[in-house]
Structure 1
Amino acid sequence: MTELLTTQDHVLLFIKRDSTASFISGGLAGAISRTVVSPFERAKILFQVQGPGQANYNGMFKTIWQMWKDEGTKGLFRGNALNCIRIFPYSAVQFYVYQKLKFQFLQNSNNKELGNFQRLFSGGIAGTLSVAVTYPLDLVRTRLSIQTANLSKLSKSKAENLIKPPGFWELLKNIYKNEGGFWSLYRGIWPTTLGVAPYVAINFAVYEQLKELVPNSSATTKLFLGAIAGGVAQTLTYPFDLLRRRFQVLTMGQNELGFKYKSVSDALITIFKTEGFFGAYKGLTANLFKVIPSMAVSWWSYELIKTALIEL
């Protein structure tokens, strides 16, 4: 019993000590992974915000080619700088909060690892807090991603009204001033949280369970485990990610994108009714192209950077 408690105390001490390392490595891992898949991320957003009957963007690689053709290399990475600014605290908060909750759970038990329910709970809380901290940046990043895109009537409206699309600060100010003040910066946070909380929960739970099944895994194996965890989590929660993007762009222009919703339930019913079952999964393929390598790189980078920081 004494030996078991000593081992547990050692585990708790390690978890408590690496909380700062988790924050820094989580933030850096998020920024690195999102930059790697930035063209896929923007393509996914363009698929998601196309309304019923619109098909300006069709097919992953055709869309990436179209972005490059219309806007050059900048088009492939449009919104990525802001996304990295957003993703650092977003990812850092997730890993930090998860690690803190893990410490609290293990402190009150004789276990060396969390159970799956505890992992899901900790991941859900971590995901919710990360959304709350960074949501306005996500909203503006989505607007930046689509304002120069070729989205039917929206592109005509842009051509008539814009000489140069607004940058981050101007867009943030316009949203605040013209769309309802402070709370307009959190438009769409409810469907976002509904999607992100279970996504993060499943991602953490699946990854840690896989690590238990494959102990002492190599760097290549960790890439593979991260890819599986991200792919499973995103597929299960994808309709809420679609809603997140739709709500974020609802008030752009004069409803040129072809959809208008009163609530989350109204949005789901309308999408299934007007766009069919697969309308709720529009952009899923593009998203998996992004999520699978993104989460593989994210988990790999996180483990690598955290280990280096702890060993300093």
Structure 2
Amino acid sequence: MSTENHSNLYFGVKKFIKQESNASFISGGIAGAVSRTVVSPFERAKILLQLQGPGSKHAYNGMFRTIFKMYADEGWKGLFRGNLLNCIRIFPYSAVQYSVFEKCKEVLRARDPGRKENYAYERLIAGSIGGIVSVAVTYPLDLVRARITIQTASLSKLDKGKLAQAPGIMQTIKDVYKNEGGFCGLYRGISATTLGVAPYVAINFALYEKFRDYMQQSSYDYSNPIWKLSAGAFSSFIGGVLIYPLDVLRKRYQVANMAGGELGFQYKSVSQALVSIFKNEGFFGAYKGLTANLYKIVPSMAVSWLCYDTLKEKIDKW
């Protein structure tokens, strides 16, 4: 290829990447993959703690004890079990979330020409839409990851007391499709997931941008990574605590049909499931695994926002 062709290709790629929607998509995808890899052990520990229903023997107790038990049972690979699938899922999930959020803000601002900033309620709306669209695009991968997580852990002893062999991604998809209602089976629990993700993304994104606006308008140097990490951590903490029961419900829905319901819960609807959790397991049953979740989402979103803002700024200046 000639030097001229190389130059044309370079400027073509640069122009493509620098487009606002593409820059948000790429930055969001990379930020999501990096942040989730960093907190993968906490992510898996959270899921295992959430899925200990009234019918389980509570093999896992406490976030760090759960991580140590995962390591003892499955080695270091157990700490990152399902992370490859999680990264495959989180790249489009995070990319769609950020890009839809930015696009929705742009559309809402366009109603008032000349306005450069969005109102708080517009950011909440944009975040909700970003959360809903990202869930719709990637939900089957989320369901499969939850299944793989529990099938390889001590909660599910399906092979005469021994830990089950780690299932493959395609095999899990085939099993769900074949035995649980076809295509609809791959979206089991999506309503519960959407109910949890939409308000979480709305609160997280809106709060982060509010902090960012405040810092940029004050004397603080917001280019300092510490400020970005702090703002991302605080906004994710608030959102995570407020909507956590819906996150528990989401995971329960995804695995309720496994192993004939041996985990101890079967739900008919979202409302019935929430009532059942609070009634049978108490208030703290709805917050089972909260500590592990906070250990996961707080650093995860802090790293995600730092990566996103940094990459976005680099692309804009490119």
Q: TM-score, normalised by structure 2?
A: 0.90
Query: 2:36 aligns to what?
Result: 34
Question: Aligned AA for 1:206?
Answer: L
Query: 1:81 aligns to what?
Result: 84
| Consecutive aligned runs of 4 or more in structure 1 exceeding 6 Å deviation | 160-163
Residue 145 (str. 1) matches residue 149 (str. 2): yes
Residue 47 (str. 1) matches residue 10 (str. 2): no
Matches within 5 A, 1:1-312: 17-52=19-54, 54-109=57-112, 110-151=114-155, 154-155=156-157, 157-159=158-160, 164-215=165-216, 216-217=221-222, 218-312=224-318
Question: Aligned AA for 1:96?
Answer: S
Alpha-carbon distance in structure 2 between the residues aligned to 1:72 and 1:200: 33
What per-residue deviation string (whole Å, max 9, x for no partner) do you get for residues 216-256 of structure 1? 41211100000001111111111110000000001101111
Question: Aligned AA for 2:75?
Answer: G
Contact kept in structure 1, 2:152 and 2:166, CA below 8 Å: yes
Identity %: 59
- 1:161 CA drift (Å): 9.3
Question: Aligned AA for 1:40?
Answer: F
- 1:198 CA drift (Å): 0.4
- 1:143 CA drift (Å): 0.5
Alpha-carbon distance in structure 1 between the residues aligned to 2:133 and 2:162: 37
SS state at 2:259 partner: coil
Alpha-carbon distance in structure 1 between the residues aligned to 2:289 and 2:164: 30
SS state at 1:175 partner: helix
- 1:111 CA drift (Å): 2.3
Alpha-carbon distance in structure 2 between the residues aligned to 1:137 and 1:54: 28
Question: Aligned AA for 1:73?
Answer: W
Alpha-carbon distance in structure 1 between the residues aligned to 2:162 and 2:287: 32
What per-residue deviation string (whole Å, max 9, x for no partner) do you get for residues 39-78 of structure 1? 0000000001101163210011111000000000110000
Question: Cα 1:261–1:212, aligned 2, differ >3 Å: closer, same or farther?
Answer: same
- 1:289 CA drift (Å): 0.3
Question: Aligned AA for 1:111?
Answer: R
Contact kept in structure 1, 2:152 and 2:165, CA below 8 Å: no
Question: Aligned AA for 1:31?
Answer: A
Alpha-carbon distance in structure 1 between the residues aligned to 2:21 and 2:226: 25
Alpha-carbon distance in structure 1 between the residues aligned to 2:119 and 2:215: 16
SS state at 1:164 partner: coil
Q: TM-score, normalised by structure 1?
A: 0.91
- 1:107 CA drift (Å): 2.0
- 1:260 CA drift (Å): 1.0
RMSD, aligned CA? 1.5
Alpha-carbon distance in structure 1 between the residues aligned to 2:68 and 2:257: 28
What per-residue deviation string (whole Å, max 9, x for no partner) do you get for residues 52-109 of structure 1? 1632100111110000000001100000000000000000001101111111122222
Alpha-carbon distance in structure 2 between the residues aligned to 1:106 and 1:123: 14
Question: Aligned AA for 1:252?
Answer: M
Alpha-carbon distance in structure 2 between the residues aligned to 1:147 and 1:309: 41
SS state at 1:254 partner: helix
- 1:163 CA drift (Å): 6.7
Alpha-carbon distance in structure 2 between the residues aligned to 1:286 and 1:184: 28
Question: Cα 1:161–1:225, aligned 2, differ >3 Å: closer, same or farther?
Answer: closer
